[in-house]
Chain A
Amino acid sequence: MSPIEIGLISVIAIIFLIYSGVYIPVALGTVSLISIWLMRDNFTLALNLLKVAVGDSAMEYSFATIPLFTFMGLIVSKAGLGRDIYEVMTMRFRKVKGGIGMATVGANAVFAAVTGSSIASASVFTKVSVPQMMAQDYNPRFAVGVVAGSSVLGMIIPPSAMLIIYSFVAEQSVGDMFLAGVIPGILLAVFYVVAIWFMARFTPGFVGGRTVADTEWMSRREVASKTLPTLGLITVVLGGIYTGWLTAVEAGAAGGLVALVIAIARRSMSLKTFWEALLETGHITAAILFLITAASIYSRMLGMAGLPNQLQDLLVGNEATFWKIMILYVLLMLFLGTLLDTASIILIVVPLFLPLVEAMDMSLIWFGIVTVVGAEIGLLTPPLGISCFVIKSTINDDRISLKDVFMGALPFAFVMLIALFILIEFPILSLALLN
Chain B
Amino acid sequence: MLKSALAGLSGVANALAIAANAAGTVSVLGLVAILNIDVVARGLFNAPLKGTYEIVQLSVVFIVFMQLADVVRVDRLTRSDGFLNLLHNRRPKLTANLRRIINAVSAIFMGLIAYIMFPEFLKMWDTQDYFGVPGVFTAPWWPIKLVIASGCALSSVIFVLKVITAQDRPQLIRIPEHKEPQQ
**What is the size, in residues, of chain B's interface with A at 8 Å between Cβ atoms?**
59
Is the Cβ of A282 less than 8 Å from the Cβ of B63? yes
A282 touches B24 (CB 8 A): yes
Q: Give the A-B pair count, Cβ closer than 8 A.
A: 207
Q: What residue in chain A is nearest B35 (Cβ atoms)?
A: A253
Report Cα–Cα, A20/B83, bound state, in Å: 6
Contact status B77-A25, CB under 8 Å: yes
User: A249–B36 Cα gap in the complex (Å)?
Assistant: 10
A384 to B29, CA, bound (A): 34
Query: Residues of B contacting A63 with CB < 8 Å?
Result: 60
Contact of A50 among B77, B84, B113, B181 (CB under 8 A): B113
Residues of A within 8 A of B71 (CB): 283, 286-287, 290
* CA distance in complex: A25, B36 (Å): 32
Residue positions of A touching B, CB distance < 8 A = 18-26, 29-30, 33, 47-48, 50-51, 54-55, 58-61, 63-64, 67-68, 71, 73-74, 77-78, 80, 82-83, 117, 119-120, 123-124, 127-128, 245-246, 249-250, 252-254, 256-257, 260, 275-283, 285-291, 293, 339-341, 343-344, 383-384, 394
B78 CB to nearest A CB, Å: 5
Q: Which of B59, B106, B120, B181 contacts A64 (CB 8 A)?
A: B59
Interchain nearest-CB distance for B41 vs A (Å): 12
For A18, give the chain B residue with the smallest CB separation.
B80
Interface centre among B21, B35, B178, by most chain A C-beta atoms within 10 angstroms, is: B35
A384 to B82, CA, bound (A): 7
Q: A287-B77, A384-B80 are in contact. Are A280 and B181 (CB under 8 A)?
A: yes
Closest 9 CB pairs of A and B: A253-B35, A286-B67, A21-B84, A282-B67, A26-B106, A24-B78, A289-B64, A51-B116, A278-B25
Q: Which of A60, A77, A290 contacts B77 (CB 8 A)?
A: A290
Does A283 contact B31, Cβ atoms closer than 8 Å?
no
CA distance A68 to B181 in the complex (A): 15
With A71-B32, A82-B183, A281-B28 in contact, is A30–B57 under 8 Å at CB?
no
The CA of A21 and the CA of B29, in the complex, are separated in Å by 33
Q: Is B126 in contact with chain A by the CB < 8 A criterion?
A: no
Q: Is the pair A25, B116 in contact by a Cβ cutoff of 8 Å?
A: no
Asked whether, in the complex, the Cβ of B112 is within 8 Å of the Cβ of A23, the reply is no
Bound form: Cα–Cα A260–B28 in Å:
13
Q: For the complex, what is the distance from the CA of A256 to the CA of B74, rounded to whole Å?
A: 26
